[in-house]
Structure 1
Amino acid sequence: MILTDRLRSIGAGVRLWFTPARVREEGTTPDYRFSLANERTFLAWLRTGLALVGGGFAVDQFLPRLHDVLRTTCTVVLLVGGALCAVRAVNHWVRCERAMRRGEDLPASRFPAVLAVAVGLLAAAMVVLVAIGWTR
């Protein structure tokens, strides 16, 4: 029962991604500057996602001598990270817009910290792998 309710809640949230006009049905309209700032944040997250996707393709194309398993792992991690950033961007945009309209605190998220740690660890691993010249 709890799982079913949770899935319905997630489904309702995802539907809002594709019908942003429905967000306006809640609460009162915030100062437009806050909505525009929320949109700029959304776009920044999309740029971050695109950069991660580009990094994934760069690893695959420009480190051909890196062991296949390592190259593929790093590529997939970056591509998945880019996809997660894109999904997180739209989800966070909707959550923030709804909170502003309701007069609530903006939602907190661990995603930026998790992403920063993951990218930092992956970058450090890549530096080590390139420095030691781990090739086939």
Structure 2
Amino acid sequence: MAWRKEGISPDYRFSLANERTFLAWIRTAMALIAGAVGIDQLAPDLAPPLLRIGIAGFLSLCAALLAIYAYQRWTSNEKAMRTGLELTYSRSLKVISFIVALFAFFLVVLVIFF
């Protein structure tokens, strides 16, 4: 982490806020993993086994990608604060929100029709 030696150390309050945001993303990733386990182990009648495994796999993959994204975003914000640059706006938040909403709709349809 050579970038930690660049620029000046930001106000600790901003670093701690950035860290709390990172931890919120990680909590969300852990919730997706818990959902995957719950669907696979606790809802055997939700859908056919292959579909249920697919849903659990999709949730697990989303959790992994979200954890990686959380770290990248934390690093990017920390670098920007150290060098005095503006924090970047991320369009991926819209994409993540859309995917979660679409998946929630899909699960509602599964619950109603299976």
Asked if Structure 1 and Structure 2 have the same fold, meaning a TM-score greater than 0.5 normalized by the shorter chain, the answer is: yes
Counterpart of 1:7 in structure 2 is none
Q: Distance in 2 between matches of 1:104 and 1:49?
A: 28
Partner residue of 1:68 out of 37, 49, 58: 49
Counterpart of 1:89 in structure 2 is 70
Deviates more, 1:103-112 or 1:80-89: 103-112
The residue correspondences of 1:12-23 to structure 2 (distance < 5 A) are 19=1, 22-23=2-3
Contact 1:74 1:122 in 2 (8 A): no
Task: Please tell me whether residue 24 in structure 1 is matched to residue 4 in structure 2.
Answer: yes
Task: Please tell me whether residue 58 in structure 1 is matched to residue 55 in structure 2.
Answer: no
Deviant stretches of 4+, over 4 Å? none
Following superposition, the deviation at residue 45 of structure 1 comes to 0.5
Give the TM-score taking structure 2 as reference length: 0.92
The Cα offsets for residues 44-88 of structure 1, whole Å up to 9 and x where unpaired, read as 010000000111111111221211232122111110111111111
Unpaired segments ≥5 residues, structure 1: 1-18
Task: Please tell me whether residue 42 in structure 1 is matched to residue 2 in structure 2.
Answer: no
Amino acid at match of 2:26: L
- Quote the sequence identity (%): 45
Contact 1:56 1:78 in 2 (8 A): yes
User: How big is the alpha-carbon RMSD for the aligned residues of Structure 1 and Structure 2?
Assistant: 1.2
Aligned pair count reads 113
